[in-house]
């Protein structure tokens, strides 16, 4: 049974929210994620429950069933593969690809998706460092932590972002900070937890707490 575009968006939203929220996902979180009226959410969640894609109660919220998670990961796989294609092949910048990939992620051709994956060389991570589910829905292992959780003297490698906003990605471009760049933490200021860092052993800069919380490192 295939899902509609709206149903796919709901399943993806529930999956993404489940990565940061424990237990059942409440209606208001889903509404906020999708930027829609909370009253609209209840009816759709009932439909998804009827299709056995979520477990749902009006007071408790929603969780994905095994089949629902499979569908959600398929949408995420398509989204991240298309983002990778747009950056690697079509010369989009990483701050431009999200909205285009939001449209492309709903293409239903399994053959196209698998050929795209093969064409790209079976990438494990998209341009933002997000893991790409494979054909079986399995995610590659990642041991990344937030830069804000690191200590003075740590030497790390930048592998991804938690903040996907266009303004944040453009800021990283402006300072020339790229995925796989090395970063050494020289000092953490007690006052506001901002960091003095050295990038690639050369460029020194100061990262605000908001920046540190938006960067993933290993």
Identify whether 158 is part of a domain.
yes
Calculate the average pLDDT of the chain. Answer: 96
In angstroms, the Cα distances linking 125 to 153, 159, 202 are 27, 9, 27
pLDDT interval class at 58 (50, 70, 90): confident
CATH number at residue 104: 1.10.10.10
Give the model's pLDDT for residue 62.
97
Whole-prediction pTM value?
Answer: 0.92
Give the model's pLDDT for residue 174.
96
Q: Is residue 76 within 8 Å of 13, Cβ to Cβ?
A: no
Give the model's pLDDT for residue 52.
97
Give the model's pLDDT for residue 91.
96
Give me the mean pLDDT over the 180-187 stretch. 98
The verdict on 159 and 196 lying in the same domain is yes
Does residue 1 have a pLDDT over 80? no
CB atoms within 10 A of CB 217: 23
Percentage of the chain surpassing pLDDT 90? 94
Identify whether 150 is part of a domain.
yes
Longest dimension (CA), the chain: 57
The verdict on 93 and 109 lying in the same domain is yes
Give the model's pLDDT for residue 120.
98
Nearest residue to 69 (alpha-carbon basis) of 136, 131, 162: 136
CATH number at residue 203: 2.30.30.90
The verdict on 187 and 207 lying in the same domain is yes
DSSP string, 83-99: HHHHHHTS---TTTHHH
Four-point Cα dihedral 61, 65, 70, 72, nearest 10: -10
Q: What's the pLDDT tens digit per position in 91-146?
A: 999 999 999 999 999 999 999 999 999 999 999 999 999 999 999 999 999 899 99
Give the model's pLDDT for residue 60.
87
Give me the mean pLDDT over the 154-175 stretch. 97
Nearest residue to 178 (alpha-carbon basis) of 120, 127, 144, 130: 127
The verdict on 168 and 204 lying in the same domain is yes
Residue 122 CA to its chain's centroid (Å): 18
Does residue 48 have a pLDDT over 80? yes
The boundaries of the domain holding residue 210 are 145-217
Nearest residue to 144 (alpha-carbon basis) of 164, 129, 163, 128: 129
pLDDT interval class at 25 (50, 70, 90): very high
Number of domains in the chain: 3
Instruction: Give Cβ neighbours of residue 126 (< 8 Å, ≥ 6 apart).
Output: 80, 81, 83, 84, 132
């Amino acid at each position: 049974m295939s899902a509609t575009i709206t149903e796919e968006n709901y399943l993806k939203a529930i999956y993404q929210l489940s990565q940061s929220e424990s237990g059942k996902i409440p209606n208001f979180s889903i509404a906020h994620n999708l930027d829609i009226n909370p009253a609209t959410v209840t009816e759709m969640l009932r439909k998804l429950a009827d299709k056995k894609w979520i477990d749902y109660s009006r007071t408790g919220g929603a969780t994905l069933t095994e089949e629902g998670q499979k569908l959600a990961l398929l949408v995420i796989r398509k989204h991240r593969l298309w983002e990778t294609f747009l950056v690697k092949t079509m010369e989009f910048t990483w701050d431009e690809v999200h909205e285009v990939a939001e449209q492309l992620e709903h293409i239903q051709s399994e053959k196209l998706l698998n050929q795209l994956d093969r064409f790209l060389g079976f990438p494990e991570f998209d341009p933002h460092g997000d893991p790409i589910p494979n054909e079986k829905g399995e995610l590659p292992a990642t041991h990344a932590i937030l830069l804000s959780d690191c200590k003075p003297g740590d030497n790390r490698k930048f592998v991804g972002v938690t903040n996907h906003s266009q303004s944040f990605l453009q800021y990283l471009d402006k300072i020339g900070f790229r995925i796989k760049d090395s970063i050494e933490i020289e000092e953490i200021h007690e006052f506001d937890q901002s960091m003095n860092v050295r990038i690639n052993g050369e460029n020194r800069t100061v990262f605000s707490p908001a920046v540190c919380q938006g960067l993933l490192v290993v």
